[in-house]
A and B are shown apart, each in its own frame.
Chain A
Amino acid sequence: MSNSATSIRRVLVIGLIASVMLFTHVSTGGAVPNAYDFQIAAKKSGVWKGIDVDLIMFDPGLQANSDKFVAAPVALTTYWTSAIFIEIGPIKTCYANQTCQLRPYYSYATNTASGFSEDTTRLLASGGNYGYKVDKTNVNNEFQAIFCSGGGCGAVWTQNMGRNDFPYVFTALETTGGARLWPPIKISSPQAKDANGAWGSWCFDSINTTHPDGKVVPNPCVPSNNGWELRSGYQAFIPIALKD
């Protein structure tokens, strides 16, 4: 009887361990472990040398060890499945074996190199309004990613991008976690730097989403608006042009 009970216990424990390992494998991302599950992006085409927005990300309510993230890139990009881009923004990560952190991040990709950095030296406040900017420097092909807080602005990252302009300015909300409803991100005071190096207000001319159940209901967006919100939802993604 004792042997039988031990055998049952062993079977149960092995089953539990297998379940935990299976769950761990699935929750750590599967085939595409470190990419977003869905994205809503507001972008404007043109010839761009810079982007500058203020952005608020509220706490998306991720659970610790849930192996999920929510990011809000502010980017210059060629915008395609394999993009050349440089971006900066807030990211909240709640991966396994880690407490949740809301930090600035920076990423870039050229034809021959890429980099991803999470700024381990800065923590952001949930709901805080921070400035994120990417700007061409006076050096050929070189761009800066700039982070602004109450303490002022500073060039955080500098990178040779192998080009001097990009066809899109781009803001987005990107998440793992499928159909979860995340709080909207708020984008205000959007500025973009054109081919002549002049900064001016901009507003998106297209909205895209990758969520299979999502649909886009764009509201009129004009530069006189002060910004917009990007919302994730199960059945709809609704960008909202904010009034002054």
Chain B
Amino acid sequence: MKSRLTTVIGITALVLLSVGIVALFSLWSDKIWPIDKTRLSQAALQSPLPAPTRGLTPTLRQVTPIEAALEYQRQFLPSKSGQPQVLLTRSVRFKDYPELGLGTFVPAPGSDPQLELVLLKGSFDTSNYGVTQRVPFKQAAYVVVVYDLEHKAITNVTLSVYGDDIKPLLEMAGEKPFTPTSSQ
């Protein structure tokens, strides 16, 4: 009887030891990680766009121009008035910039990528905005983001405090610029 008990305890201990070894092995084995690796990858892919004009590597991240614009705004131009309003989305080319109030840009010879313009309205905090020099205003009512569909990157971000700098775009969206007294 005692011998049988010893044998059972021994076998149980051996089984438990084996289970422990297998558990430890599986813990460090690559075979248990695929699901978790997927989660890590998804977490990495959900990280926000960090700066102006960063390319969105297609194999890593597929976003629409509106998503790219809103993601950029969320990270760098936080809204003081809730969710910004998408006033306008429009397919444009670089040659359209002057008539839209975006200045003039001449691309490299032979390059004429299709662009998507997104116009956002809100109350955007610009107090920390600026890549190499800080902008001289603390708030803007409008953000224009131009997304290069060919190069999968934001190519232009324009801020307007009142909207009078981008009046043609506002007119397309049925908007009128603020007056300084009414907006700030």
Interface on A for B, CB 8 Å cutoff? 1-2, 4-5, 8-9, 12-13, 16-17, 20-21, 24-25, 28-29, 31-36, 39, 67, 69, 71, 73, 75, 77, 79, 81-85, 87, 93, 95-99, 101, 105-107, 109-122, 151, 154-160, 172, 174
Residue pair B76, A33 in contact (C-beta under 8 Å): yes
B67 at the interface (CB under 8 A from A): no
Considering the chains assembled together, what is the distance between the CA atoms of A105 and B105 in angstroms?
11
Considering the chains assembled together, what is the distance between the CA atoms of A31 and B125 in angstroms?
12
Question: Which residues of B lie under 8 Å from residue A101 when comparing CB positions?
Answer: 55
Q: A5-B27, A9-B27, A34-B129 are in contact. Are A112 and B165 (CB under 8 A)?
A: yes
Considering the chains assembled together, what is the distance between the CA atoms of A99 and B134 in angstroms?
26
Interface on B for A, CB 8 Å cutoff? 16, 19-20, 23, 26-27, 32, 36, 39-40, 43-45, 47-57, 60-61, 75-76, 102-109, 111, 113, 126, 128-137, 148, 150-151, 153-162, 164-166
Measured CB to CB, the closest approach of chain B to A125, in angstroms, equals 14
Q: A107-B131, A154-B106 are in contact. Are A118 and B52 (CB under 8 A)?
A: yes
- The one of B26, B54, B132, B166 in contact with A172, judged by C-beta atoms closer than 8 angstroms, is B132
Question: Which residues of B lie under 8 Å from residue A79 when comparing CB positions?
Answer: 133
* Chain B CB within 10 A, most for which of A2, A13, A99: A13
Measured CB to CB, the closest approach of chain B to A137, in angstroms, equals 11
Considering the chains assembled together, what is the distance between the CA atoms of A84 and B137 in angstroms?
10
Residue pair B105, A117 in contact (C-beta under 8 Å): yes
Residue pair B52, A21 in contact (C-beta under 8 Å): no
Question: Which residues of B lie under 8 Å from residue A119 when comparing CB positions?
Answer: 107-108, 155
Residue pair A121, B113 in contact (C-beta under 8 Å): yes
Query: At the interface, is chain A mostly helix, strand, loop or mixed?
Result: mixed
Measured CB to CB, the closest approach of chain B to A10, in angstroms, equals 9
Question: Which residues of B lie under 8 Å from residue A85 when comparing CB positions?
Answer: 133
Considering the chains assembled together, what is the distance between the CA atoms of A151 and B109 in angstroms?
10
Residue pair A83, B136 in contact (C-beta under 8 Å): yes
Residue pair A157, B134 in contact (C-beta under 8 Å): no
Considering the chains assembled together, what is the distance between the CA atoms of A1 and B22 in angstroms?
10
* Chain B CB within 10 A, most for which of A2, A5, A112, A174: A112
Considering the chains assembled together, what is the distance between the CA atoms of A28 and B158 in angstroms?
21
Show 23 residue pairs from A and B whose CB-CB distance is below 8 angstroms, ordered by the A residue. Answer: A1-B16, A2-B19, A12-B27, A17-B39, A33-B76, A71-B132, A73-B132, A79-B133, A93-B51, A93-B53, A96-B47, A97-B45, A97-B55, A105-B53, A107-B131, A111-B137, A114-B126, A114-B129, A115-B103, A118-B53, A118-B154, A118-B155, A151-B109
Measured CB to CB, the closest approach of chain A to B129, in angstroms, equals 7
Considering the chains assembled together, what is the distance between the CA atoms of A120 and B152 in angstroms?
9
Query: In the complex, what residue of chain A is closest to B180 when comparing beta carbons?
Result: A112
Residue pair B57, A115 in contact (C-beta under 8 Å): no
Query: In the complex, what residue of chain A is closest to B112 when comparing beta carbons?
Result: A121
Question: Which residues of A lie under 8 Å from residue B165 when comparing CB positions?
Answer: 110, 112-113
